[in-house]
Structures are given as C-alpha cells and as structure tokens.
Amino acid sequence: MSDYLPLYIDFKGRRIVIFGGGGVGERKARYFSGVADVTVVSPAFTPALEAMGGITRIQKAAAREEIGELISGAFLVIAATGDEEFNSAVVREAQSAGILVNSAHGESGVILPSRITKGDISVAIATGGKSPAMSKYLRQRLEAALGEEMADMVRLQADVREVLKKVVPEQKDRERLLWDILKTPAVWEAMKTSYDDALTLALMMIEERRP
C-alpha cells in the first residue's frame, strides 16, 4: 500500500511552473489550465501547447542557475523535461525552497493522478507510482461506468439538502432522508428522462417521511 494520500486543493489562480514542453508537459499543463496560473518553460512546445490559451510560455532551455528564479512564487513546480538530471535539479531546488514538486521521472513527493470529472464529481486514481498505465486503464473503465445520472444526483442532493436544512431540524433525520432518496430506484429512473420529475418525487418523499 502506498504512502500517498489524495487531497483536493483549490488551485484557482495559483502559480504553477512546468519545465518541458513535450507530451508530458502538455498533459500536465492541460490538467491545470483554466484554473491555475500556468507557465511552461521549454525551448520547444508541442502544437497543442503552442495553441493552448490562458497559459504563459517562456521559450528557452532553462539553465540550472535560473531554476530558483523561475520557480519563485510558485505553489507547485513540475519537472517534465526529457533530461532526467535537470529534472532532479528542479526537484532539489523546489524542495529546498519549500515548494511542492512533481517529477515526470517519479519519486518527488507529489503525484498527479488520473482524473475523471462528471459535473461536480471528481475521481482521482493513482497507484503510488507503481503503474501509471493501470491508472489510465482504470480511468477509462470507470469513465465509461459513470453515467450522467450520477452528476444529476449530486445536483438533486444539493437542492434537497437546501430544503431539508430549512424544514428538518435534526441532522440525523436529514441524513436518513437523503439516503432514502439515494436508495429509491424510482428517483434514479425519473432522472433518466427529467431532472425536474426526479426532484418532485424526492420532495414528495420528504413530505411523506419527515418527522
């Protein structure tokens, strides 16, 4: 079993510096783009990185002496060049500056997981670095199994929770009612055709069953 534990962090606006603009740098940039403030440093970029909006590109091969300056103010640094020794230098610099660092060559204390998102649902998968291919394989399997109705149920539960907080004073009762809804096949069935029908059914259940 791995010592790595998953954690969800709000990356909005956080500075991320990625070294290496190849396929791996591209994947890592895509993971954070649109949320964090991403900078990629590399002498060359893949076409997708070249076209990626909302990121900063610094086109050069970073020298070792520059690493410290380039990573200053970063929340997370990613070493994804094809040069293993350079990546190790990035890991050392970041660690001594107290900055989180991920390395494409493994073992840096931070793993980027495979990720599935469906509406507000987010699933992270990793194998403690043992088998990245297996993480990807599992992601593909789970992605196919996770239907739209799961994301819709998150929305319904959130809507119902708002109502429950107003009309059911005891937390234990609210919990029981939320689970009653989850365990009612008719609610899932209604969700397939209409969110509003499913919500109406759930609210009727609450009226009938609340203390």
- Positions touching ligand SHN (CB under 6 A) are 27-28, 31, 102, 104-106, 111-114, 126-129, 131-133, 135-136, 139
Q: Which is nearer to ligand SHN, 136 or 209 (CB)?
A: 136
CB atoms within 10 A of CB 128: 11
The minimum distance between CB 91 and ligand SHN, in angstroms, equals: 11
The minimum distance between CB 110 and ligand NAI, in angstroms, equals: 11
Count of residues near ligand NAI by CB under 6 A = 20
Give the Cα separation of 127 and 4 in Å (integer): 9
Give the Cα separation of 125 and 137 in Å (integer): 10
The minimum distance between CB 96 and ligand SHN, in angstroms, equals: 20
- Contact present, 205 and 181 (Cβ < 8 Å): yes
Out of 16, 70, 71, 86, the only residue in the binding site for ligand NAI (CB under 6 A) is: 86
CB neighbour list of residue 38: distance below 8 Å, 6 or more residues apart: 16, 18, 29, 32, 54, 55, 56
Q: Which residues bind ligand NAI (CB under 6 A)?
A: 19-25, 41-44, 61-62, 80-83, 86, 104, 132
